[in-house]
Structures are given as C-alpha cells and as structure tokens.
Chain A
Amino acid sequence: MFWAEHFQRFVRFRFLYQLIDSKLNKRIQLILNMQAVIPNQPSHGVTWVLVVSNIDLTTNLPTMEPETFLQSTIKDAVINISHDYRYMKIGYYVSMHAEILGDTVIPSSKSIIEANRTPILLLKASKAGIPILPYLVTSSVKQIMSELTFPLVSFAVNPFSYDGYRIATNRSSLYRAVKSLSMNYKFAVCAQPLKGEMVSVKSIFGKCEAPEAVKRVSEKVYEVFKIPLCKLHVQNVGSEILLCGLQPLKKEEVLPEDLRTISEKISELSKTGGMPIG
C-alpha cells in the first residue's frame, strides 16, 4: 500500500516535470525563432526592431515578454514598452540588459533614472530649452520659505515615492507636505513656485491629448528623455507651459486606444528606417 502510494506520487511528479520541461523548450524555441525572424541587417528599407513589452500590444512586429528577453542574447534595436520605468523595476532591467548586449534601446537606462528624479529632469529639460520654473532641492522648510513664495508645489526626491505632488499654500501645509514627501525629513524634496494651474497629461511617444502648447512640451520631453509612456506634470501659466515633473503610469491608465497609438508608433519607427536614439 505504502509503495503503491509512493509510486503514484512519483508518476505524478514525473508528469509534472515533463510538462514544465515542454514549456521551457517552447520558451527556448520562441527565442530561437525570434533570432531567426529578426535579421541584423535591414532589408528593403525596413529596420527590424524587437519590441519588449509587459503590455499586450496589437502589433505585427515581434514582441517579447521582458522575462524572456532578459534570458536572451538577441542583438538588435529594442523598443522597451512598459507602463512603469522605475529604477530597479523590470522596465529598467530590460533597457539595462539591452545596453549590455550592445543593442540600441528606447529608453536608455540612464534616461530612466534621470527622468524619474525631478531635479535632474528639470536641469536637463532647461538645458534642452524646455521652459521650467526655478526649483529648490532641500528638506528644510525654512529654506523653502526664505527662497520661494507661496503657493508652492513640491515633488518627492526619495527612493520610495514616484507619484504625485503636494501643493502648499501656507506655512502649515508646507510643513505637512515636506514632512510627508521627505519621509520625516530623511530625504530631500523638490519645491517649485506655483504660478498657474497644474495639469497632468499622459504622454505616449511624446504625443498627448492636450492643447497645442502642452503637446509641444510633451514632444520636447520625449526628444530629450525618450520615455515612451509616462505622465507629465506641467504648469499652465497664461500662455506658457512649464514642465514640473514626470511619473510612471499605472497599468490601468494604459487604455485600449493607447495600445493602438503605441502599436502605430512602433510600426512607424520600424518603417522609417530606424530608431531615433538620442
């Protein structure tokens, strides 16, 4: 009886291992197929790109799961599509892996870090001619009050918060905002004066559903950082649009119509004879 039970268990496990084995073989076959369908040299004016995405896209181009790509050694141009490009998340590692393989990749791992750190985003944006407001990186409320005037908008500059901003209209609300964003004054915050109205837009390859002036800023930000999917925070100050911050999108924020836009843009990039790597 005892041996019969053990034999049954053995047969069951053996079946399970075979099943896993066949799945692994399929995964390896997929990688080999990918290498076969993605030629290194462009033919007939079409540059092949490999799309690595954690979002289910509707594109005819070869698409690969991030986890599969991380196991591969494919040498090609890579478009890394992810709703979340935060540092140390899978979207970041895909770009890093592509760079180590020597591939050209959108976005670069450096851009991912820079775009997600508000002071660096603003510094690089201003160097590229994107209008911004003066900003202050500190964890001291007194310093913010002495150098900037109310109302203020503050962004977190800590390893844990990536989303949103806090508006402070007076001393006590600034204390609350800085205490929360700096994680009890342990990290710095990036404070900027609030001169107009805060507007947040979803940017897909630099395109967004917004007035013309916002669109121009969104396109310029994409030109500089090449982040395919992100949310931009801008200030509408009369006729001028000023960049304030950038944050990753939540998965549910990527709508079906966005997937079409992403697919179209990817096809466009592959047909125009290459990727505009910055």
Chain B
Amino acid sequence: MANIACFVEGYNFTDQREEKALQNFKRTAEQMGHNFDFMYRENISDIPKYDAVFIRATTDPLFTSYIVSKTADELGLKVIDDPESIQICGNKIHQYALFKKHAIPHIPTIFVNKTDIHRRCLMGIFRELGKPVVIKAPYTSFSRYVEKAACETSFREVAKRFFRKSDILAVQAFMPTAYDWRVGVLDGKVLYVCKYMIPKGRWKHGAKLRGKPTFIWGRTVSMKRENAPATLKELALKACNVIGHGLYGVDVKEANGKYVVVEVNDNPSIYAGYEDLRDKDLYGKIIEYLTD
C-alpha cells in the first residue's frame, strides 16, 4: 500500500468536471489499495510522510507547485509532474529550442527579444511567417498569453505586455484549424486521445468574450486511443521523448494531412466525462505509475 498526496489548490474544485475527476483518482487509488490524500499549500511540510506526489494545481517554475515537485523529487518520491518537466513545459522557449534541436515537426517558430522589436525585424518576421502571426509568452497555459498580431502596431502592443515577465517571446505562424488534437501521454505510452474543438469564430480552444471576463471553451470530442491515427500518436510520443517520461498533454495540429506539434503541456487537464470518456483506465494507469 502506498501513500499518495495529490497537491491541489482551491480552484481545482471550482469546476464540477475537474472535481469529479479528482474524486475518480481518489476512488481508483483506494480501490487499488492505496491511500490518497488531497494536499493543500498549508500541508507542504507533510510531503515526507508520503510515497508519491501527484500535482493537479497549475504548474510553473514560479508557483508553489514547483516547490512541491522539487521537494518531493529531492526526497526521492515519485512525482507527477517532475521538476524537469515543469521547467521545460513551463517555458515554451525552452520547449521549442528542444524541438528545433531534435527536429520534432512543430509550428514554424521565431524567438524575439527586446532588441528585435524594430521595423526591419518585424517586417522580416511577417515576410517569413505570413500575416497574422501568433505571439506566445513562454508561460502560456489554458490558451492565455497567446495573441494574434496582423500588423506592426498590434505586434508591438502585445509584445510590450508579454515582455514584462519574459525577455524572450515566441512568434509562430498562424495555422487556423477546426480542432487541435490532444494526446495524453504517460511514461512514453499514449493514455488518451481527443479533439479540442475551436469555438465558432475563434482561433483557439479557449477564448475570452470581448469585453467580458468569462472564457468560453470549445467542445472536447474523445476517441479510443486505438482508433487515433498512428502517425499522430508517433509524433506525440516523439515530442514527449525530448522532455521526459511523465504525464503530458500534447497539442497537435493537422494541416494538409501533416501533423505538427503545437506544444507539450505538463499537468494536462483531466475532466470527468471529457478526456476519460473513451479510455476510463487512465485513472488506474496514473495511480499505477505513481505507485510502481
């Protein structure tokens, strides 16, 4: 019997689908004969009491979740997400540099720093990537801090905002599609596959309504992992291989019959009735990995 701590924050329980998924993890672990406790920020000092840590709170090297991950890792505990994965997936510049190095097919990307924001460079970017371009802050998650720019003025405006936190930004070619593939990968094996549909009239899965604080999300269409295209699964596994052997959600775009990686996310969303709809065994597989 293993003691598993699931690090969560209050917001993990605000969405019923996520809360249900967390309860599914707890029930599955208990059915497998393990102890599964939710651990909050106030209980971080209890980490040494556990055998494994499963992080469900949003990860970033600057968030408390990284401290939980690193502490667990230093103490020799099995941890999802491990600190290396958080470091690479939490910084898209790091991730795309690795994709370039290992020749992983990904959306054409150019890195820009503050000294590159001048007319000639911007014209060069538009010439190379076309118009509009997508400007991505390295710390993007849940479709936030990813914006389109079709002219120099809007490019400068977006870049100025994103440069407040990071000295380098990623600029990518705009590839509109009806959906993005999401491939869930655990320890080098495909866990689930689904399609994240893009809401009508939008270009990303999660979009903010103009003038309102609410976010609207596209539908999630699940399919059995066996039925997903083999080339898609191969590409997702190849992309994860350069990052690590943890739990990842790989976003892939399909254009003209070719697949390109959009990004690899650590701490992928798992909502009851969505990602788990066709592959119910994902809960058991994650618990098995943690207790192995």
Contacts and interface: CB of A to CB of B under 8 A. Distances in A.
Interface in A93-146: 93, 96-97, 100, 109-110, 113-114, 117, 119-120, 123-124, 127, 136-140, 143
A20 interface: yes
A127 B67 CA distance: 16
A93 B93 contact: yes
Interface in A136-161: 136-140, 143, 157-159
A119 B210 CA distance: 40
A100 B154 CA distance: 31
Contacts of A113: 61, 66, 87
B90 to A, nearest CB: 9
A127 B75 CA distance: 10
Interface residues of B, number: 33
A70 B87 CA distance: 19
A88 interface: yes
Interface string B77-103: 000000110010001011001100100
Interface in A159-201: 159, 187-188
B97 A137 contact: no
Contacts of A120: 66-67, 70-71, 74
Interface string A65-86: 0010010000000000000000
* Interface of A: prevailing SS: helix
A137 B67 contact: yes
B121 to A, nearest CB: 10
A187 B66 CA distance: 12
B166 interface: yes
A157 B166 CA distance: 18
Nearest to B116: A67
18 contacts: A88-B138, A88-B165, A88-B168, A90-B168, A93-B167, A96-B91, A100-B94, A100-B97, A110-B83, A110-B87, A113-B66, A113-B87, A117-B66, A119-B71, A120-B74, A127-B74, A137-B64, A158-B62
